Amino acid sequence: MWVVRWDVLAAITGMALVTYACRAGGYAVLRAVRPPPWVEMVLRHLPGCLFAAYVAPPLLALGWPGWCGAAVVVGVQVTTRNMGAAIIAGIAATWGLRLIAG
């Protein structure tokens, strides 16, 4: 039987509301005010920067098995155009190479 802890439920609800308010607030501001061209340029390049920030630390931490796994991801994605298969292949390659490397 599940027991609901009200403090945990309140914390999760509060975090969800704050997250939604931040996202909705950003959309509302950008609909009401046109940002300067340099802000639009930064926002266009932001997804690439975020991707690099998420990918670089694990690649550096995993060493050559991580880099080989990343290459497998790129290769599978280019050949199959299937993101799920690319991710699974990259994880399997990284895991297998780390297992072999000891």
Provide the 8-state DSSP code for 87. H
Q: How far lies 39's CA from each of 21, 42, 44, 52, 90, in Å?
A: 21, 5, 9, 20, 35
Q: What are the tens digits of pLDDT across the range 10-31?
A: 999 999 999 999 989 888 888 8
pLDDT of residue 83: 93
pLDDT of residue 26: 83
- For the chain, what are the domain ranges? 34-101
The dihedral built from the CA positions of residue 79, 80, 84 and 89, taken in this order, carries a sign that is negative
Query: Higher confidence at residue 25 or residue 72?
Result: 72
Using left for φ > 0, alpha for ψ between -120 and 50, and beta otherwise, residue 36 falls in beta
Q: Is the pTM of this model over 0.85?
A: no
Q: Nearest 5°: phi and psi at 3? A: -115, 125
